[in-house]
Amino acid sequence: MSVRGNKSDVLWKAASQVAYERGLAGLTLANVAEAAKMPLGSLYYYFKSRDDMVGAAVARVHTRFLQLREQWDGLGESRLSLRAFAGMTAEQTETLTRHGCPIGTLVAQLGKKQQAGAGDVGQVFSQLCDWAAGHFATLGLSPEAARLAGRKMVRDLEGAAMLAHATGDAGHISEVVSEILHQIDSLADSGAN
């Protein structure tokens, strides 16, 4: 990859991280430059406006979750794929409790400002619901039951992250993840797979 490509990736990641940790109000060229450990002047080549930085943050979220779904699918079994998705939430308990869910946070902030990109980043939730539904169907649920199970899984994980962030109680995440893992294992062990 070229030096320019590496800088672009670093800046996209930094813009996404700043938007997540500091909110859209904190998404400034200066804060992105600081997070990327780059001189402020070099950012003008990549970001002409604040909308460019928001677009970078949204694109980064899409790319990251596409990569994760591919990684989870590579595990070869629906049980393992679904467990990896739930496990990601468990692994990020501290960050989620401190900052909330990166997708939910970005959707909420863009929605409040009625800013472009809210629907785009919100599609990540829809894609995760559909992805999970496909795996629940592979485990033997009917198409409608699988659709509902996929939506419930995403809704429960997002809700647990929001409650943990709002209350400072990480127990919301561990309880929900434990319930989801039990559901996945019960379904897989029932012989439906």
Query: What's residue 157's pLDDT?
Result: 95
Give the residue with greater pLDDT, 38 vs 120. Answer: 38
What's domain 3-192's superfamily in CATH?
A: Tetracycline Repressor, domain 2 (1.10.357.10)
Average pLDDT over residues 20-41: 82
Contact 81, 73 (CB under 8 A): yes
Quick one: angle between helices 78-91 and 118-138, nearest 10?
A: 140
Domain range annotation of the chain: 3-192
pLDDT digits (tens, 9 = 90+) for 123-179: 888 999 999 999 999 999 999 999 999 999 999 999 999 999 999 999 999 999 999
Q: Which long-range contacts (CB under 8 A, 24 or more apart) does 176-180 make?
A: 176/89, 177/86, 177/87, 177/89, 177/90, 180/82, 180/86, 180/153, 180/156
Query: What's residue 179's pLDDT?
Result: 97
pLDDT digits (tens, 9 = 90+) for 47-67: 777 777 777 777 777 888 899
pTM: 0.79
117 pLDDT more than 70? no
